[in-house]
């Protein structure tokens, strides 16, 4: 189905093209000597000056979601196939899905970072490539795709996809106020690369044995330099509609600003409380290529019958290829052209932390962190309970368990710091069982590593 699949696929490709996906590594929030705690709370400062190894100071790779590869791929007669194969039981497949299924990723690749003591505090400079990708897919969409033509009515509402990618230059400062308070902030300058918002708000489908009818409402907004929409014509109605996208070159296409604000309060030597809001800001995009149904649109077809016989003319594979192409007529988005500039807010993150230092062994600390992303339809939250130890100056580590919107996960981080060298490795979501292709069966997985030079 060209329109919806290509818009979502382009979103994913734009995010993936920057080579890694991840949020800030929350497993490092309470870990001593973790260099990038200031990106989780700008009030936090390092003990030493540092400079990152260019491009390798803070590498992340991660994904998150409520539907995983084990919900999509199945083993049938010794071969790997997708849920669309007629031999995959529909009940088994649909029972493994939520009413709303989410897949998301954040990008933050540290190109260059440095920190130094000056101006009566600690200062940081960071140059990052960033972005985030999110999709929301209702269970009814999978039900429709799986069950095919039958005497049923489907209400496929709120299919959504979002992506943005940009470069961030951040200037931060952390300052001690008295004995108990430390505050900090960062000002960020943003250069926009791409933004796409796809809102397929309505698809009310009435399926019959020989025909089906859809009433749809959808809008696609794309702010990508050099992007134009492809067009096709419905042979049955003669109506021209958007069937895909072309991008001629790629470049900067927007400008924005954001702030991070944080505070740390230590009332006693045993307890520490902290709070931060990250990425509170906006990007103004240079263009807005809009494709829309311009209200409700009705579509009827009498195509598509499936046969489990692979040799039949209307075999599952052949009919699905036809259906995938023609379902674009469900929406038949009209090309409204460039509607001018538009401004979008970033997805802000709120971090709230409580840390307790064990009196009997002060190198052992326990922490509870709540992280909440505030991003409309793509908002999420998690609580992460951790134990963190720093038995000597050169080594620190933490292990944690998290529970939230994307389920349960186990995380950890190890950090080594000697004179002139620092290296860390960690995961917010430890890899579980892998598919034959090397991909994690769960959609929650992450790896974070970096090399930096303290001085």
270: containing domain: 2-351+428-454
* pLDDT (0 to 100) of residue 454: 96
* pLDDT (0 to 100) of residue 17: 35
Nearest to 23 by CA among 409, 354, 387, 432: 409
* pLDDT (0 to 100) of residue 67: 79
Q: Are 75 and 87 in contact (CB under 8 A)?
A: no
* pLDDT (0 to 100) of residue 20: 34
* pTM for the whole structure: 0.84
Q: Are 263 and 274 in contact (CB under 8 A)?
A: yes
Please state, as a whole number, how many other Cβ atoms lie within 10 Å of the Cβ of residue 95: 8
Distance of CA 53 to the CA centre of its chain: 26
Q: Are 349 and 372 in contact (CB under 8 A)?
A: yes
Nearest to 116 by CA among 187, 168, 171, 169: 171
Q: Is residue 415 part of a domain?
A: no
The owner of tokens 């906006």 is 282
Angular region, 364: left φ>0, alpha ψ -120 to 50, beta rest = beta
* pLDDT (0 to 100) of residue 385: 98
Q: Is residue 361 part of a domain?
A: no
Paired with 222 in beta bridges are: 196, 289
Give the total number of structural domains in the chain. Answer: 1
Q: Is residue 317 part of a domain?
A: yes
Structure tokens at 398: 């933490």
Paired with 224 in beta bridges are: 194
Interior angle at CA 381, CA 378 and CA 387, nearest 5: 145
Q: Is residue 282 part of a domain?
A: yes
Q: Is residue 304 part of a domain?
A: yes
Nearest to 396 by CA among 71, 81, 35: 35
Could you tell me whether strands 212-224 and 50-52 are parallel, antiparallel, or unpaired per DSSP bridges?
unpaired
Task: Render each residue's pLDDT in the chain as its tens digit; 455 residues.
Answer: 334 444 443 343 333 333 333 457 899 999 999 999 999 999 999 999 999 999 889 987 777 888 777 777 777 777 777 787 778 888 888 888 888 888 888 778 889 999 999 999 999 999 999 888 888 988 888 887 777 655 577 788 888 999 999 999 999 999 999 999 999 999 999 999 999 999 988 888 776 656 667 788 999 999 998 888 988 887 666 778 887 888 887 789 999 999 999 999 999 999 999 999 999 999 999 999 999 988 888 876 655 454 555 566 655 555 555 555 555 556 778 899 999 999 999 999 999 999 999 999 999 999 999 999 999 999 999 999 999 999 999 999 999 999 999 888 899 999 999 999 999 999 998 876 666 655 666 677 788 899 999 99
316-326 and 2-16 helices, crossing angle to 10°: 90
* pLDDT single digits (tens) 137-153: 888 888 877 776 555 77
Q: Three-state SS across the chain?
A: CHHHHHHHHHHHHHHHCCCCCCCCCHHHCCCCCCHHHHHCCCCCCCCCCEEECCCCCEEEEEEEECCCHHHHEEEECCEEEECCCCCCCHHHHHHCCCCEEEEEEEEEEEEEEEEEEECCEEEEEEEEEEEEEEEEEEHHHHHHHHHCCCCEEEECCCEEEEEEEEEEEEEEEEEEECCCEEEEEEEEEEEEEEEEEEEEEEEEEEECCCCEEEEEEEEEEEEECCEEEEEEECCCCCCEEEEEEEECCCCCCEEEEEEEEEEEECCCCCEEEEEEEEEEEEEEECCCEEEECCCCEEEEECCCCCECCCCCCCEHHHHHHHHHHHHHHHCCCEEEEECCCEEEECCEEEEEEEEEECCCCCCEEEEEEEEEEECHHHCEEEEEEEEEEEEECCEEEEEEEEEECCEEEEEEEEEEEECCEEEEEEECCCCCCECCCCCECCCCEEEEEEEEEEC
Structure tokens at 265: 């309060």
Q: Is residue 289 part of a domain?
A: yes
Structure tokens at 416: 């080594």
Dihedral angle sign, alpha carbons of residues 219, 377, 427, 59: positive
Structure tokens at 400: 């944690």
* pLDDT (0 to 100) of residue 392: 92
Interior angle at CA 407, CA 107 and CA 199, nearest 5: 55
Could you give the C-alpha distances from 189 to 127, 256, 351, in angstroms and in order?
10, 6, 22
> CB within 8 A of 361, min separation 6: which ones?
none
Q: Is residue 404 part of a domain?
A: no
> CB within 8 A of 309, min separation 6: which ones?
315
Q: Is residue 314 part of a domain?
A: yes
């Amino acid at each position: 189905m060209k329109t919806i699949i290509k818009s979502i696929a382009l979103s994913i490709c734009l995010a993936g093209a920057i080579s890694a996906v991840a949020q800030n590594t929350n497993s490092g929030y309470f870990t001593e000597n973790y260099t990038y705690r200031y990106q989780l709370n700008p009030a936090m400062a390092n003990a030493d000056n540092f400079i990152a190894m260019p491009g390798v100071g803070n590498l992340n790779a991660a994904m998150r979601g409520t539907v995983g590869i084990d919900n999509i791929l199945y083993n049938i007669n010794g071969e790997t196939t997708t849920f669309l194969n007629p031999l995959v039981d529909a009940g088994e497949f649909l029972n493994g899905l939520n009413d709303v299924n989410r897949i998301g990723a954040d990008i933050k690749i540290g190109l260059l970072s440095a920190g130094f003591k000056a101006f009566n505090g600690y200062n940081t400079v960071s140059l990052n490539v960033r972005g985030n990708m999110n999709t929301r897919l209702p269970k009814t969409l999978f039900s429709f795709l799986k069950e095919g033509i039958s005497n049923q009515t489907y209400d496929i509402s709120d299919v959504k996809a979002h992506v943005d990618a940009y470069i961030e230059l951040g200037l931060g400062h952390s300052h001690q106020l008295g004995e108990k308070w430390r505050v900090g902030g960062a000002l960020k300058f943003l250069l926009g690369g791409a933004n796409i918002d796809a809102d397929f708000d309505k698809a009310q489908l009435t399926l019959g044995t020989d025909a089906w009818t859809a009433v749809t409402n959808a809008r696609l907004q794309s702010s990508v330099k050099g992007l134009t929409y492809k067009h096709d014509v419905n042979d049955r109605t003669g109506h021209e509609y958007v069937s895909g996208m072309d991008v001629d070159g790629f470049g900067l296409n927007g400008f924005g600003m954001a702030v991070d604000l944080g505070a740390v309060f230590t009332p006693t030597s045993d307890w520490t409380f902290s709070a931060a809001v990250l990425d509170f800001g906006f990007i103004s995009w240079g263009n807005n290529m809009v494709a829309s149904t311009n209200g409700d649109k009705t579509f009827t077809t009498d195509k598509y019958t499936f046969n489990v016989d692979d040799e039949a003319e209307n075999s599952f594979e052949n009919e699905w290829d036809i259906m995938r192409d023609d379902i674009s007529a469900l929406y038949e988005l009209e090309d409204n052209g460039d509607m001018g500039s538009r401004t979008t807010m970033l997805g802000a993150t709120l971090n709230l932390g409580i840390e307790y230092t064990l009196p009997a062994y002060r190198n052992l600390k326990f922490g509870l962190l709540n992280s909440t992303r505030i991003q409309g339809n793509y908002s999420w939250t998690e609580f992460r309970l951790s134990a963190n130890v720093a038995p000597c100056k050169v080594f620190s580590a933490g292990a944690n368990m998290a529970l939230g919107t994307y389920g349960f996960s186990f995380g950890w981080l190890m950090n080594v710091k000697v004179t002139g060298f620092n290296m860390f490795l960690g995961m917010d979501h430890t890899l579980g069982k892998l598919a034959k292709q090397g991909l994690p069966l769960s959609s929650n997985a992450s790896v974070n590593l970096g090399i930096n030079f303290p001085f």
